[in-house]
Amino acid sequence: MYSYALLEPGCFYLVQEKENEELTLLQVKVISDHCMYVEKYAESIVQQWKRKTDQIFDIVELLSDETVKDWTSAYYSSEDAYHEEDDE
């Protein structure tokens, strides 16, 4: 088991928060003395505070800058597919 305290600010991680759950992509945004503010990416972005002591089942990977760039391009291009412009 790992904890959120191992994660660095500004970095993107693929994690498995609990055993037998799907992978989650998250980015650490802010670190305080006892907590971390993270963004989780799925169908929508979820922002939440986590205690540094909160458990993570597995930290699968720290994404490289190149991988983050590729993912960002794919994530935001597929997000645009859900937003149709209104014809007036």
Domain range list for the chain: 2-80
Per-residue pLDDT of the chain (88 residues; tens, 9 = 90+): 899 999 999 999 999 999 999 999 999 999 999 999 999 998 889 999 999 999 999 999 999 999 999 988 888 886 555 555 555 5
Task: Give me the pLDDT at residue 10, please.
Answer: 94
Q: Give the pLDDT score at 80.
A: 56
Task: Judge: domain 2-80, CATH 1.10.3470.
Answer: no
* 60 CB burial (10 A radius; 0-12, 13-18, 19+): middle
| pLDDT reported for residue 87 | 52
pLDDT at 26: 96
Cα dihedral sign for 35, 1, 75, 79? negative
- Chain centroid, CA 78 distance in Å: 17
CA Rg value for the chain: 15
- Number of helices (H) and strands (E) in the chain: give both, helices first: 1, 7
Q: Check residue 75 and give its pLDDT.
A: 83
Half-sphere exposure of 29 (CA within 13 A, CB side): 12
**For 88, what's the count of Cα atoms within 13 Å in the CB-facing half-sphere?**
2
